[in-house]
Structure 1
Amino acid sequence: MDISYILNELGEDRSQYFNAVVPPIIQTSNFAFNSFADLRSAYRDEMSTYVYSRGINPTVDILRRKLAALDGAEDALVFNSGASAIYCAVMANVRSGDHIVSVQRPYIWAARLFDNVLPRFGVLTTYVDGTLVENIEKALRPETRIIYLESPNTLTYELQDLAAVAELARARGILTIIDNSYCTPLYQKPHALGIDLSLQSATKYIGGHSDTLAGVLTGPKALLKKIFDEQLLNTGSHIPPFDAWLLLRGLRTLPMRLERVSQTTRQVVKYLKQHPKIERVLYPFDEDFPQRELARQQMNGAGGLLTILLKADSHAQIERFTFALHCFLVAVSWGGHESLILPQAGGMDPADFDPAVERHRLARLYIGLEDADYLIRDLEQALEVL
């Protein structure tokens, strides 16, 4: 299916809303019925009709169709955050006594689900270095129900061989879930590699304007129906129609925004690699990245996230460098128009900083839609302060 068709036409029936070019926001909580038969049918399957906007809504439906098509999936669910998508996808597929294998250091709210919530219900998680499939295989138990992946992750960008992990999981009847937020469906298609469920934070590149929160989950219709019935409806994790409309707006420009961000990022990486105050640059498509070949094999692009290892001896140096920047905001998340920086030292007590620990000297950069020269000049003057 052509991406231009998906982004501009799929799911949009303009004759149903006065031939408006932009789909309307169906801002209603409730939907009326014309017969008892229709009402009974809706009660039996709330995912297939409009009952109450905590479940399915017409504006959300247009978005669902587009997101499923982008991922090459049967269906999609849209949540009020990426954390909700993770929670519902996992909780609907485990029960007491089950076991999960997860990659090391997943997104913080995935880790807190695994470490703080699931153990209360007798579900345990084993963390492994997912760069080697053998590590995942060794961690499997008879009670393992989920292999949880994040490829690449969003700080040091370790990848997993998705096709190999999917083959391993299928042979044992284990569900695979991936956080695909780094790549979006434009730069990586996990379902084509055999992964069962693919999720992403739509807050980031899909929204693209830093003005809405959302999470997306795509996969087989039957699996998503189970998640919808057991978790989404019960947790109130639905996305409101206005936020769905904002995501539809963001989708229109997604390819060109990603292309622009990727092009600028490559220029920034080239500059930073030669700077004497930068010890190392981490970026999946860089020629020195340890898993570069795997990245090029299963990804079509690498977007705007990169991480630098600063040559710094103190917490104060990193703080001075960070706030000397004028064009990079100190903030979490990514995927909007604005460039960002998030140093690991920023979340630490200065007394705990140890320059011998490389992770303490890492700073993640997100490259936004600004001109490359504009950002490079800013980095140059801030590195002089460092």
Structure 2
Amino acid sequence: MKLSGVKFDCKHFRGTIPCKPNKQHNVQCDNCPYYEKWEKHILIIKLGAMGDVIRTTPLVVKYRELYENVHFTWLTDFPDVLPPSDIQDILKPTAFNLEKIKNRTFDIAINLDKEEEACQLLADVDANEKYGFIWNNGHLDAATPAAEHKIITGLFDHISIKNTKSYPEEVFEICHLKFNLEEYLLNYNKSIAEKWQGLLKEKANGRKIVGLNTGCGNRWLTRLWPNDYWIQFINLLDHDKVLPVLLGGPQEDEKNTWLAKQTQAWYPGTFSLEEFISLTSNLDAVVTQVSMMMHIAVGHKTPMVLMNNIFNKHEFEMYNRGVIVEPETGCDCYYGNKCKRSRSCMFDLRPETVMNEVNQLLKI
């Protein structure tokens, strides 16, 4: 068989090894009844942050609704959160992978990062349609006018604070699409999730399992809820009906160990990202500050109480499965990493308020 007879545009083509139809049925391209042509090749450039990568995945859902066979290439710093069953080529931004992308042709290319490197890549890539942020004349620019608003809100707080659209809604508009509550996609290990399901059910003994994510990262520490409030909130819960489970990473390990000693909350420890995502798939509800846990909870379709102060609450898409609570006195530090008050506004978000919202979500 001549090389010219190979159907490189078939969705079963695997590059340098036999495809699945060949392995199973001993067919080749010129007599194969399983040939399916990729209808669209789409590139998504969304490097980080991790939570932003997760909440960009509704685009994949949308494009799969629009086109029967879509091949996705996604460039990201966080490949582990993306499901390979839905995204065919998940690449980290290495020099080798950048060359691969530059030497491919795409029907649609999307860049949702404003950093120069990502914008320059969109400018350089070969694509019939380009959406998002691009590099032009030495500065950030919009690939189409639809992206201009997102650039402006990133530059001027007094405009950003008036925004009433969620992040997915804005991303869809940038791509000239209509957001209809397409869900997040999330990669997690189902066998690990089943293991934790058994352990958590045994520990809960019929109670509702509520995950308490106590940290928020280092970038905006103004988001943190006081430790004493976590203690008060945990003590207010009805422990005959609720098992509170402390969650976090290595940064929260000391805090969560201490909180477990002060309360009846259970702290299972710290885990790899894969283990953490799988564990949290078994929760009945989540309480968290704005954090990666927020995006994971949305991906798992878990009801959530989200504590917010410094961000525009409209940017968070809750899919009608949760509630956002904020300090009664408001916040003076829009996207601020230092509090302007002598006493943080998070002291004005009372434990009783959070407890009441949790009880409503769980209907207890």
TM over 0.5: no
Rg larger in structure = 2
Higher helix share: 1
Smaller-chain TM-score bracket: 0.3 to 0.5
